[in-house]
A and B are shown apart, each in its own frame.
Chain A
Amino acid sequence: MSNPRWRAFARIAVLSSSLAVAIVALAQTSAVDEIAKYRAALQDGNPAELWEARGAELWKQPRGPNKVSLEKCDLGLGPGVVKGAYTQLPRYFADADRVMDLETRLVWCMVKLQGFSEADAVKNHFGGPGRKSDNEAFVAFVTSESRGIPMNVAATHPKEQEMYRLGEKMFFFRGGPYDFACASCHGVDNQRIRLQDLPNLTTKEGAQKAYSTWPAYRVSQGELRTFQWRLNDCFRQQRFPELKFTSDASIALTMFLAKNSNGAAYDAPAIKR
């Protein structure tokens, strides 16, 4: 590199590569801003409203072998109380002797009140093209009745505490073919997957922002997605075994994240890319 011409060339190369880094950094921040703008633009006219409306209708409809509605379903605040119920879930239900999240409780009500079989109640829990899910509609309706109310998960019952500890353990547990934990992606600030910002769920702000904006209408899928779906898809992305719908594992993780989000004003169903 004694040749001055070579040296000049090398300097230009270094200069242009640092310029390229600057441009990429700029593109990243502006892409994130653009996604935020996109979300804000879609907020008015969120199709989640369609699910909320359908859920509200289904809620009042006599269904199942017993021909009764879900209006007597006890979501934790007494039979038929929907307002604010989601902000206190998951919780321990003495009648079922189990800690339940919203979706597990809905299945329980469908079995106990409406007389559905367990298999029928969990059927079609996540919708797809041309296949509307009642579960997603119920969840949209119930969560919409908690909008603006602060998250307030007690987790004081011994079984609730046990669930929380289990969820925490799972969150940091590394496994699977990628040796991944939830914390691998969600335990660091400013982490991204492609262009999506990943919240750091180990911080209060991160957990609050994430938990209070689920469920959400996913524009890319044209469906309203519930928190069970969110966890299920995280497991898929980690190449973990499939997370069983309403399993204790799913409730434990929900418990961990819900309690960490306490204090956040609940603001869903939201809209996401």
Chain B
Amino acid sequence: MADPMRIRANVVGDTTEVKVLMSHEMETGQRKDSAGKVIPAWHIQNVTATYNGKTVLTAQWGPAVSKNPFLSFKFKGGAKGDKVQISWVDNRGEKRTDEATIA
């Protein structure tokens, strides 16, 4: 199973700033291994962020996103103690969901 994400969420004025580190190989499908064979693409495809059950961000990612991606975004509202939930699904169907409390 994939390693957990690291999520930080802080209230700044009337917005909440969320910073997420994800652990993923993000293989592009363009590289070859030492035997010359193409390493199959393996990357996160969909990212969803929800706050109190409401979706605040969705993203479709491709092979251009770096290994171990870092995602930072802001959304209006949010209060200390509330939960932010981030999920991703990769092109192999593997998924991971983690939650953080807004500070």
Q: Which residues of A does B touch, CB under 8 Å?
A: 44-45, 47, 49-50, 53-54, 129-130, 219, 222
Are A53 and B3 neighbours in the complex by a CB distance under 8 Å?
Answer: yes
Known contacts: A50-B23, A130-B25. The answer to whether A45 contacts B3 by CB under 8 A is no
Q: How far is the CB of B57 from chain A (nearest CB, A)?
A: 16
Are B67 and A49 neighbours in the complex by a CB distance under 8 Å?
Answer: no
A129: B residues at CB distance < 8 A? 25, 27, 39
Number of A-B contacts (CB under 8 A): 30
Q: How far is the CA of A47 from the CA of B68 in the complex (A)?
A: 6
Chain A residue at minimal CB-CB distance from B42: A130
Chain A residue at minimal CB-CB distance from B6: A49
Are B27 and A47 neighbours in the complex by a CB distance under 8 Å?
Answer: no
Known contacts: A45-B21, A45-B72. The answer to whether A50 contacts B67 by CB under 8 A is no
Q: How far is the CA of A222 from the CA of B27 in the complex (A)?
A: 11
Are B68 and A44 neighbours in the complex by a CB distance under 8 Å?
Answer: no
Tell me whether B29 is interfacial, beta carbon within 8 Å. no
Q: How far is the CA of A219 from the CA of B66 in the complex (A)?
A: 9
Q: How far is the CA of A40 from the CA of B94 in the complex (A)?
A: 32
Q: How far is the CA of A50 from the CA of B25 in the complex (A)?
A: 13
Are A53 and B6 neighbours in the complex by a CB distance under 8 Å?
Answer: yes
Interface residues of B, CB < 8 Å — how many? 14
Q: How far is the CA of A94 from the CA of B27 in the complex (A)?
A: 46
Tell me whether B70 is interfacial, beta carbon within 8 Å. yes
B4: A residues at CB distance < 8 A? 53
Q: How far is the CA of A158 from the CA of B4 in the complex (A)?
A: 45
Q: How far is the CA of A129 from the CA of B72 in the complex (A)?
A: 25
- 23 interchain pairs (CB within 8 A)? A45-B19, A45-B21, A45-B72, A47-B21, A47-B23, A47-B68, A47-B70, A49-B6, A49-B21, A50-B3, A50-B6, A50-B21, A50-B23, A50-B68, A53-B3, A54-B3, A54-B23, A129-B25, A129-B27, A129-B39, A219-B66, A222-B66, A222-B67
Q: How far is the CA of A54 from the CA of B39 in the complex (A)?
A: 25
Q: How far is the CA of A91 from the CA of B70 in the complex (A)?
A: 37
Chain B residue at minimal CB-CB distance from A222: B67
Q: How far is the CB of B68 from chain A (nearest CB, A)?
A: 4
Q: How far is the CA of A53 from the CA of B7 in the complex (A)?
A: 12
Q: How far is the CA of A219 from the CA of B67 in the complex (A)?
A: 9
Q: How far is the CA of A47 from the CA of B22 in the complex (A)?
A: 8
B70: A residues at CB distance < 8 A? 45, 47
**Residue in B4, B23, B27, B66 whose Cβ sees the most chain A Cβ within 10 Å:** B23
A219: B residues at CB distance < 8 A? 66
B67: A residues at CB distance < 8 A? 222
Chain A residue at minimal CB-CB distance from B31: A129
Chain A residue at minimal CB-CB distance from B26: A222
Q: How far is the CA of A54 from the CA of B2 in the complex (A)?
A: 11
Q: How far is the CA of A47 from the CA of B24 in the complex (A)?
A: 11
8 Å CB contacts to A: which residues of B35-89?
39, 66-68, 70, 72
